[in-house]
Amino acid sequence: MIPMTIHDFLLTMAACLFVMGVVSIGAGVFILMTKIMGDDLKIIAKQTARIAEKGITDDVVGLVGNASTLVDSLNQLVKTTTGIAVFLVGIGVILILSSYVVVTQIS
């Protein structure tokens, strides 16, 4: 077995924390860029607007109500996705800061 000193262990732990922090931040930014700005969400929003206009011109109250519910659901989806992405970025920053603290403890 390879002998490992406490300094080597702390350095390895700090490196792992740093890598996990960078991966977490990268995942959060990736989610923000792809999921929120995704084409699927834009297409669904456009189609919902068309359905609502069609419901208004044809006096179909149920269709307008359902389109309104769909728009509210889309807004909740965007908020949830944004929250998850911000959480991942926050965890990434905390992990990087904790790796810095571990490195400063090595003396």
Residue spans per domain, the chain: 40-97
The pLDDT value recorded for residue 36 is 63
Rounded mean pLDDT, 64-69: 69
Q: For residues 84 and 69, give the distance between their C-alpha atoms in angstroms, rounded to a whole number.
A: 23
Contact by Cβ (8 Å): 8, 103:
no
Residue 32 pLDDT exceeds 70: yes
More confident residue, 71 or 3: 3
How much is the pLDDT for 79? 77
Question: Do the beta carbons of residue 102 and residue 7 sit within 8 Å?
Answer: no
Residue 54 has pLDDT above 70, yes or no: no
Query: pLDDT digit string (tens) for 67-104?
Result: 677 777 777 777 788 889 999 999 999 999 999 999 99
Per-residue pLDDT band for 52 (boundaries 50, 70, 90) equals low
Q: Determine whether 79 is exposed, middle or buried from the number of CB atoms within 10 Å of its CB (0-12, 13-18, 19+).
A: exposed
Q: Give CA–CA dist 77/69, Å, rounded.
A: 12
Query: Measured between alpha carbons, how far is 78 from 30 in angstroms, rounded to an integer?
Result: 14
Mean pLDDT across the stretch 10-18?
Answer: 94
